[in-house]
Structure formats: C-alpha cells, structure tokens
C-alpha cells in the first residue's frame, strides 16, 4: 500500500519576520529556505511553510480551531523545559494524560496552538 512518508504544515502568519524569529529562536527550528513571502523551517521531521498573510484573520480569533498540530516527541519533559528556558509561555501545562501520553502545549504569536506528546511506557 502506498504510504505517507513525511508531512509539512502550511501556516498563514501576519508578520513573517516575527513568526520566523519565534520558530527559530524560541522553538529551535532551523531555516531551510526563504523566498519572497515564505519561510520554510524545520526541526527533526517537522517541516513548516510560513506564508506571509498580513490581511488574514489571526488564528487567535478562531478559538478551538487554532490547533494545527500534535507533534510526537521523545522526552516531552526535556522539550518543555527547553521552551520554558527560551521564555515561552506554556499554554497547556506538562502532564500525563489518561490516554497514555505526556503532553504540553504552546501558542505561537499568530495564535496557532501546538501540542507536543510523548507516548508513556505501558
């Protein structure tokens, strides 16, 4: 059966410079390429394409629909600590969930919500 081998999220951002700095400086992504109106960034297998859309309705205005990713990680506690050291506000505090994952969540400058989760041992 054909399989999906990678994924890339495409996000509309209101200020490309601010958003790119957030992903690079706060979340530890690296810049893969920038072209007019776009920044492609990645960390591990997570790839993002940030598109400059200054007139778009910010995701912060869409409430629950602002979720865009659940990223599976190794060492959620360590990653959460890294992000706190980088000055990030943790929107969804680190905790073990009854569905078997240790999770935490953050909100980007544009209001996109990302949850990071680590599968707990059985």
| pLDDT tens by residue, 59-79 | 777 766 677 899 999 999 999
Q: 42 — alpha (psi -120 to 50), left (phi > 0) or beta?
A: beta
109 or 61, higher pLDDT:
109
Close Cβ partners of 20 (under 8 Å, ≥ 6 residues apart) = 31, 34, 39, 41, 50
CATH fold, domain 8-54+66-119, is 2,3-Dihydroxybiphenyl 1,2-Dioxygenase; domain 1 (3.10.180)
Q: How many helices (H) and strands (E) does the chain have?
A: 2, 8
Give residue for tokens 């979340």.
27
| Mean pLDDT across 97-106 | 97
pTM for this one? 0.89
Domain ranges in the chain are 8-54+66-119
Question: Is the CB of residue 39 less than 8 Å from the CB of residue 25?
Answer: no
Give residue for tokens 């992903």.
23
């Amino acid at each position: 059966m054909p399989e999906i081998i990678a994924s890339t999220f495409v996000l509309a951002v209101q200020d490309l410079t601010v958003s790119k700095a957030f992903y690079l400086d706060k979340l530890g992504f690296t810049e893969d390429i920038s072209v007019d109106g776009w920044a492609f960034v990645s960390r591990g297998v997570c790839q993002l394409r940030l598109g400059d859309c200054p007139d778009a309705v910010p995701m912060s205005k869409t409430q629950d629909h602002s979720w865009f990713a659940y990223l599976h990680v190794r060492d959620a506690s360590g990653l959460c600590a890294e992000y706190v050291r980088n000055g990030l506000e943790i929107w969804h505090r680190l905790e073990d969930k009854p569905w078997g994952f240790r999770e935490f969540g953050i909100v980007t400058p544009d209001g996109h919500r990302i949850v990071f989760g680590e599968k707990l041992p059985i």
